[in-house]
């Protein structure tokens, strides 16, 4: 058998590269893939902050007083209505003190501008956020308390200025709701599963689902800029089913439970840049609805750029989920920083979370140049078995997570560097981590389970190199030892001179002889095609010992669609046998080659 030396295209590169190892060059025929980052200029070109006529409506002209006592709710309402009726402009909050108010509902073509020295401070009584409005609560549509600042179905909206928006949540009943919400939350999830119309999902008064801070629902052309936003009861800035959104140079401070920073949900064309997140929960977190209700609405979050932000904690900095049932596509995060906060530290730098009732597809999350630390629970974590807020209601609907790239992830001080925890029913697919450095890591070895086509390239963990580059040794299946199978070439897309078509019988196998220069753990990547809808599992054995029993080789869609799957195994120095044996009467898939990084 004569293996060919080629560039590894896929595989979980888990084994460290020995110091001084000489790696073969990439073949001259290799062509660089188009970077997913090539999409970013077109996304940014579509994002344009709204402009407003040069008209000003000071809230003090409508009865507002900056004494932290006068109820300014009617003044905000009147000034916003007048501004909207005039064709738009600026509702001005003068920089003279604290303006105490209940809910603020924005209308089209209105910019609410808080000058330096001005504070919009929200009332602490729950009644100030009634009557109920159409909203979402943890990804499920319902009627509930109004968010503190709210707009629905409006166009051209802005919150700007160097002043402060203070939710004053600790003074209200909201954090007490966290201890009481269980029955309401269970009921809302069951209403969604039962298909009860949203009009009949009524909460609010005498219930315990606390409101968001700022929510734009089904709006277009949104700007939030420069403000100091503090003390929300729940998610701080929460656009839903909205598009063309700019959030920049905003400082967010929150403490308590469920107090995320920015949560775009079912939104498109979003830019979050130059912000500071000192949050009690996730910093920037992409969502798209939860479970049955999220799939019913079925709108993904897509084309989102997150750049030049600073994260001081808590939970995830760049986060997706766990409410992602409508799908997430094309998220780009670059040049962000993680620092220790005054009282919190980030748990994770990159954090994707979901479980087997969410459904939905996360396709295309790209992170580069994310630096800093510490991360108290782990640097890069994909968790497809997440259940912190309960597994969810309704039928099993396995989600999909695929096509992630992480480069320049440089994190100091964390329990682990990389943990990809896929689902046995739905593997994580196609993850590339490159040019990254992790130091002061308690458990340095990457932890990868139920994940296919994972590539580590030039990743250093505590000084040890993992994945020195894309080179490896390829062993063509047609040159291996074959039992109860035939070499064929009638399906396009294979490597070498052909592939092995297993006989439809349990026990058919292909056995490779693999040479390892030194003993150690190495990833073994099998390229295959399975044009059926049935799994064709195989036992993978190394030197006679099964290292992966009934390894799934699931359907690829057609016999000309080739995919790869990877197992890690201990190889001895010198020759080794690697046998892939069909375990069912359907036999194995069409097997193209085995690629080994050793």
Bridge partners (DSSP) of residue 522 are 569
Rounded to whole angstroms, what are the CA distances from 308 to 97, 321, 333, 378?
Answer: 31, 21, 9, 22
pLDDT along the chain (598 residues), means of 10: 30 46 35 73 98 98 98 98 98 97 98 98 98 98 98 98 98 97 97 98 98 98 98 98 98 97 98 98 98 98 97 95 97 95 94 96 96 96 86 90 94 96 95 91 93 90 74 86 97 91 97 92 86 92 94 83 78 96 97 86
| Res 431: pLDDT | 96
Residue 115 dihedral angles phi and psi, to the nearest 5°: -70, 165
Query: Which residues on neighbouring strands pair with residue 241, listed in sequence order?
Result: none
d(CA 585, CA 307): 52
d(CA 26, CA 526): 20
Q: What does the alpha-carbon distance between residue 203 and residue 209 come to, in Å, rounded to a whole number?
A: 7
Do the Cβ atoms of 77 and 57 come closer than 8 Å? no
Residue with tokens 């609805």: 289
**How many whole angstroms separate alpha carbon 248 and alpha carbon 390?**
33
**What sign does the CA torsion over 438, 439, 440, 443 have?**
positive
Q: What is the pLDDT of residue 390?
A: 66
pLDDT number for residue 7:
27
**Does the CA dihedral 268-425-594-461 come out positive or negative?**
positive
Tokens linked to 483: 């039992």
Q: Is the distance from CB of 102 to CB of 147 less than 8 angstroms? A: no
- H or E segment to which residue 512 belongs: strand 509-516
Cα atoms found within 13 Å of the Cα of residue 545, Cβ hemisphere only: 7
Residue pair 258/281 in contact (Cβ under 8 Å)? The answer is yes
d(CA 526, CA 591): 7
């Amino acid at each position: 058998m004569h293996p060919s030396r080629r560039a590894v295209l896929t595989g979980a590169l888990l084994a460290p590269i020995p110091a001084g190892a000489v790696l073969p060059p990439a073949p001259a025929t290799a062509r660089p893939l188009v970077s997913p980052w090539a999409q970013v200029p077109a996304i940014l070109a579509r994002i344009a902050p709204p402009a407003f006529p040069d008209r000003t409506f000071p809230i003090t002209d409508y009865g507002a007083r900056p004494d932290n006592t006068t109820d300014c709710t009617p003044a905000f309402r009147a000034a916003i209505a007048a501004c909207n009726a005039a064709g738009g402009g600026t509702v001005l909050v003068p920089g003279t003190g604290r303006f105490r108010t209940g809910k603020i509902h924005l209308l089209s073509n209105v910019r609410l501008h808080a000058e330096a020295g001005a504070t919009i401070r929200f009332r602490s009584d729950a009644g100030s956020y009634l009557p109920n409005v159409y909203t979402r609560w943890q990804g499920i549509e319902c009627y509930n308390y109004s968010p503190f600042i709210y707009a629905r179905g409006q166009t051209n909206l802005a919150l700007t200025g160097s002043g402060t928006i203070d939710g004053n949540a600790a003074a209200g009943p909201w954090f007490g709701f966290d201890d009481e919400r269980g029955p309401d939350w269970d009921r809302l999830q069951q209403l969604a599963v039962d298909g009860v119309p949203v009009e009949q999902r009524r909460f609010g008064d005498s219930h315990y689902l606390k409101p968001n801070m700022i929510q734009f629902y089904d709006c277009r052309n949104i700007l939030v800029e420069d403000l100091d936003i503090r003390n929300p009861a729940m998610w701080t800035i929460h656009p839903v089913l909205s598009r063309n959104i700019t959030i920049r140079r905003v400082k967010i401070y929150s403490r308590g439970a469920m107090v995320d920073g920015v949560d775009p949900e079912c939104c498109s064309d979003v830019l979050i840049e130059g912000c500071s997140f000192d949050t009690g929960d996730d910093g920037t977190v992409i969502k798209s609805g939860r479970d049955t209700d999220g799939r019913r609405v079925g709108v993904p979050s897509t084309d989102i750029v997150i750049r030049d932000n600073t994260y001081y904690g808590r939970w995830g900095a760049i986060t997706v989920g766990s409410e992602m049932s409508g799908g997430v596509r094309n998220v780009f995060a670059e040049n962000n920083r993680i620092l220790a906060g005054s009282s919190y530290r980030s748990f994770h730098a990159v954090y994707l979370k979901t479980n087997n009732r969410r459904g939905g597809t996360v396709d295309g999350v790209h992170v580069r140049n994310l630096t800093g630390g510490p991360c108290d629970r782990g640097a890069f974590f994909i968790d497809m078995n997440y259940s912190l807020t309960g597994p969810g209601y309704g039928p099993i609907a396995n989600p999909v997570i695929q096509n992630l790239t992480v480069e320049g992830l440089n994190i100091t001080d964390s329990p682990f560097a990389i943990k990809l925890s896929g689902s046995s029913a739905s593997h994580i697919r196609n993850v590339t981590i490159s040019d990254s450095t992790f130091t002061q890591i308690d458990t340095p070895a990457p932890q990868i389970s139920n994940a296919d086509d994972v590539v580590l390239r030039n990743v250093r963990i505590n000084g040890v190199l993992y994945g020195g580059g894309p080179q490896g040794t390829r062993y063509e299946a047609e040159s291996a030892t074959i039992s109860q199978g035939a070499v064929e070439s009638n399906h396009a897309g294979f490597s070498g001179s052909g592939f092995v078509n297993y006989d439809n019988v349990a026990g058919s196998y292909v056995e490779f002889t693999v040479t390892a220069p030194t003993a150690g753990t190495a990833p073994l990547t099998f390229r295959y095609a399975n044009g059926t809808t049935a799994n064709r599992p195989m036992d993978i054995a190394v030197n006679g010992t099964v290292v992966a029993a009934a390894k799934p080789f699931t359907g690829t869609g057609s016999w000309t669609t080739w995919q790869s799957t990877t197992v890690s195994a201990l190889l001895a120095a010198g020759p080794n046998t690697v046998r892939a044996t069909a375990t069912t009467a359907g036999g194995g898939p069409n097997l193209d080659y085995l690629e080994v990084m050793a």
